[in-house]
Amino acid sequence: MEGNQKTIQVGLIGYGYAGKTFHAPLIRTVSGLELTVVGSSRRDTVQADLPGVAICPPTEVTSHPDVDLVVVATPNDSHEPLATAAMRAGKHVVVDKPFTVTLDEARSLVQVAKEEKRLLSVFQNRRWYSEVLATREILESGRLGHVSHYECHMDRFRPNVRKRWREEPGPGAGLWFDLGPHLIDQSLHLFGMPDSVQASFAILREGGQTDDWAHIQLNYKALRVILHASLLVSGGGPRSILHGTVASWAKYGGDPQEAQLIAGMLPTDPGYGVDNDPGVLFDGATGAKTEIAVPLGDQRPYYAGVRDAILNGKPAPISGEHGVAIMAILLATFAAGREGRVMPIPLTEEERSAWIASASPVVRGA
């Protein structure tokens, strides 16, 4: 693609939950991007939602002549072959999380991107959620002192097992494979690379076949990070917690963007991303509580970053090397859970260096 081309033509593979809820509305509301092709078997739904967009079988998007950027939003085990085919056909690629289902697949995608000189990025949209933006903001403020503990929950109440691929045994299935990449990415984004991991998994719902409860600990030199996900939590407590030597901070209530997108609100709406649940600062010396408004959530900067990387040669907002790091930690947690012991992060020194070169600046606490 020529650097002076002003509009990037985008082909979206998959129009299930991720494609319909996140990718399509975000792509359509970022200047410089045009959604031209959708690869899906749900022709009637795509035509109703996206009139004028070409529809074809998913595999045809990878080499479609009217596509510069391919977005892969399909079941997890198809990410690697579709992304590889797209890059071999000269396309830039965005892969929805989880990047792949194995570490070898993740490494392969990075190698193909290098060989073909194509942009490869992982869609980690929750970095631009109000909760994560607020967590980073309070860390950077220094108001907590040295942070020794970070805890983040992604809990839901879904007591009934549903018939869908995510809840049936197979590659990339289960709750932690679904939500773990988000939580791991947040931790890397905020604190950098952990030294080791510990983990516990369970199937707690009657009739469950894949994990529906996960409790993970990331170990840093002077910090512990707890990541928790469950499908049996109604109500619950704070979603994010930070404890420091001066104060603690907690965020109750989640970012509204997903619910707004499901309801049909576009990111261009004035009310989009407005989170009315503030963070709460707890002063360690006085016990005083102070409410702090949280930033506006908006996922569009991810796709704006992809656009700028393709057109202007800027770094990808989230690189393929970062995807490898997430996969290494994710698979280390599964090994830790199986073996019941602390596990190191299975990255080579070259991969660690590549991750450091591509990562966002690390905030205090690690």
Q: So what's the pLDDT on residue 360?
A: 61
How does pLDDT run across 170-189, given as a tens digit for each residue? 888 899 999 999 999 999 99
Over the stretch 218-236, which tens digit does the pLDDT of each residue have? 999 999 999 999 999 998 8
Neighbours of 240 (CB within 10 A): 21
For residue 361, the model assigns a pLDDT of 45
- pLDDT at residue 94, rounded to an integer: 98
Determine the pLDDT at residue 5. Answer: 58
Helix (H) or strand (E) holding 148: strand 147-155
pLDDT of residue 275: 97
Q: How far apart are CA 78 and CA 73, in angstroms?
A: 9
Cα–Cα dist 135/190, whole Å: 8
Say if CB 279 and CB 249 are below 8 A apart.
yes
Burial of 115 by CB count in 10 Å (0-12 exposed, 13-18 middle, 19+ buried)? exposed
CA 12 to chain centre: 17
Question: Which sign, positive or negative, has the C-alpha torsion 90, 317, 336, 366?
Answer: positive
As a whole number of angstroms, the distance between CA 10 and CA 28 comes to 10
- The pLDDT assigned to 92 comes to 98
For 255-288, what is each residue's pLDDT tens digit? 999 999 999 999 999 999 999 999 999 999 999 9
Quick check: helix, strand or coil at residue 4?
A: coil
The answer to whether the bond into 98 is cis (omega within 30° of 0) is yes
Residue pLDDT tens, the chain, 366 long: 344 458 999 999 999 999 999 999 999 999 999 999 999 999 999 999 999 999 999 999 999 999 999 999 999 999 999 999 999 999 999 999 999 999 999 999 999 999 999 999 999 999 999 999 999 999 999 999 999 999 999 999 999 998 877 788 888 889 999 999 999 999 999 999 999 999 999 999 999 999 999 999 999 999 999 999 999 999 888 999 999 999 999 999 999 999 999 999 999 999 999 999 999 999 999 999 999 999 999 999 999 999 999 999 999 999 999 999 999 999 999 999 999 999 999 999 999 998 988 876 445 444
Instruction: Look at residues 211, 198, 262 and name the one whose alpha carbon lies nearest to residue 22.
Output: 262
Question: In the prediction, which pLDDT does 137 show?
Answer: 96
> What would the DSSP string read from start to end of 44-71?
HHHHHHSTT-EEE-HHHHTT-TT-SEEE
Q: Residue 58: is it exposed, middle or buried by C-beta count within 10 angstroms (0-12/13-18/19+)? A: buried
Q: Are 330 and 171 in contact (CB under 8 A)?
A: no
Tokens of 334: 């599964």
Burial class for 206, CB neighbours closer than 10 Å (0-12, 13-18, 19+): exposed
Q: How many CB atoms lie within 10 A of CB 161?
A: 17
First to last CA, the chain: 40
- Chain-centroid distance of CA 111 in Å reads 21
Burial 288-310 (b: 16+ CB within 10 A, else e): eeeeeebbebbbbebbbbbbbbb
Which domains are seen in the chain, by residue range?
8-126+301-316 (3.40.50.720), 129-297+329-358 (3.30.360.10)
What per-residue confidence (pLDDT) applies to 3?
42
Residue 239's nearest CA partner among 317, 164, 156, 316 is 156
